[in-house]
Amino acid sequence: MRVLVTGGAGFIGSHVVDALRARGFEPVVLDRRSAPEQDVRDPEVVAKALVGVDAVCHQAAMVGLSTRFADAPAYVSHNDLGTAVLLAEMAEAGVRRLVLAGSMVVYGEGRYRCPRHGIVRPGPRSVPELDAGRFEPPCPHCGAALAPELVGEDAPVDPRNVYACTKLTQEHLASSWARATGGSAVSLRYHNVYGPRMPKDTPYAGVASFFRSALARGEAPRVFEDGRQRRDFVHVRDVADANVAALLAEPRPGVLRAYNTGSGDPRTVGQAAATLATAYGGPSPLVTGEYRLGDVRHITADSSLLRSELGWAPRVRYEDGMREFATAPLRGE
C-alpha cells in the first residue's frame, strides 16, 4: 500500500513513516520541512502528491496551546484549511482511506465524578480561582471536590482553546468527506505524545518537550499549577503503531471512527518532570503555581476501544520511554 504522510518529516510523522516502512508499506512524505513549497494548503501540490496513493495519514498541523489569541488565523489556516484542501483533492483523486492525527484536546476537561451528583462536567476554570491557586474544578452543582476518571470516546466534546477547536473541525471535515465520498476515516485522538525527535525550545511543543529542553539548558523544569494535573503520556512509537493498525483495519465506508490513543497509565505532570529530571541527572523540577488559561486540569484516556477493535496495544512502558527520552536528541539539536 502506498501511503501519503502529510507532516511526514515532523515529530510524529517521521515515526509514522518509519513504522510504515517496517511493515512493508510505501510511504510518501509531504512536509514543508523538506521543502517550503510542499504546503498541504496548496491544491496543486497535494494533487501531485496523491498520484498513485492508496491512503493518507494526515499528521501535518500547527500544534500546541498558543500563547496568544492572535495566532488563531494561523491555526485555522494550517489545520482546517489544510485539511479541507487535502480532503477535496482526495475526493478528486479517488483516495478513500484516511487516518487523521486527532487529539484529546477536543474533550476539554476530562471526566469527573461527584460523590453526590455522579458524572458531571465542570465549566471552564476562572481567572480568580486560578490566581488563588484553586486549580481543581469543583462540582458545578454543589461545589464538592471531584474525582477524575478516564475519558471514553462517547464523552461530549468541549474544545477550550483555539488549537482544540481546529482539531475538532478537522474531525468534522473528515466525517463530511467520508459521507460524501464513501471513504473510510479514522481519527486517532492522541494524548500527550513524547519521545525522540520532539521539537526543541518552542512554545508550541508538548509539556514533555518543555521539560526536556530545560534540562538540556541546565535549568530546572518549570511545572505549572501545583504539578498534580493528570495526563496520559504515550510514546511516539506506540502512536505510530496505532496509525499502522488503523490502515490495516477493515474499512468502514462513509464513517469517521474516533479512537483514544493513550497509554492507559495516567501520571501527573509533576511526576513526568521528576522522572525526566532524575533520568537526565539534572536539577529537580520547580513547581511555579503559574497557569495557562486555556489549559484543562485532568484529561486521561480510556483507550480500550482502540485495543479491542484494531488490536493495538502500547508496547513502551512509561519508565522505559521516559528514560530513553531523557537523553534522546530533540529536533533542532
Cell 503559574: give the residue.
Answer: 290
pLDDT tens digits for range 176-190: 999 999 999 999 999
For the chain, percent of residues with pLDDT exceeding 70: 98
Pick the more confident residue, 333 or 74.
Answer: 74
What's the confidence (pLDDT) of residue 230?
95
What's the confidence (pLDDT) of residue 318?
96
Domain ranges in the chain are 2-111+149-327
Mean pLDDT of 28-40: 91
The CATH number of 2-111+149-327 is which of 3.40.50.10860, 3.40.50.720, 3.40.50.970, 3.40.50.300?
A: 3.40.50.720
Q: What is the C-alpha to C-alpha distance for residues 42 and 323, in angstroms, rounded to an integer?
A: 40
**C-alpha separations of 54 from 44, 57, 100, 102 in Å:** 18, 11, 15, 20
Q: How confident is the model at residue 36 (pLDDT cuts 50, 70, 90)?
A: confident
Looking at the DSSP bridge assignments, the partners of residue 256 are 185
Mean pLDDT of 19-23: 98
What's the confidence (pLDDT) of residue 206?
82
Q: What is the C-alpha to C-alpha distance for residues 124 and 72, in angstroms, rounded to an integer?
A: 19
Q: Is the pLDDT of residue 159 over 80?
A: yes
Looking at the DSSP bridge assignments, the partners of residue 255 are 184
pLDDT tens digits for range 106-139: 999 999 999 999 999 998 899 999 999 999 999 9
Mean pLDDT of 218-234: 96
Q: Is the pLDDT of residue 41 over 90?
A: yes
In this structure, which amino acid lies at residue 212?
R
Mean pLDDT of 191-200: 93
User: Mean pLDDT over all residues of the chain?
Assistant: 95
What's the confidence (pLDDT) of residue 66?
74
Q: What is the C-alpha to C-alpha distance for residues 293 and 30, in angstroms, rounded to an integer?
A: 34
Mean pLDDT of 192-209: 85
Closest CA to 180 of 89, 253, 85, 257: 253
What's the confidence (pLDDT) of residue 64?
80
What's the confidence (pLDDT) of residue 221?
96
Q: How confident is the model at residue 22 (pLDDT cuts 50, 70, 90)?
A: very high
Q: Is the pLDDT of residue 333 over 70?
A: no
pLDDT tens digits for range 264-289: 999 999 999 999 999 999 999 999 99
Q: Is the pLDDT of residue 204 over 70?
A: no
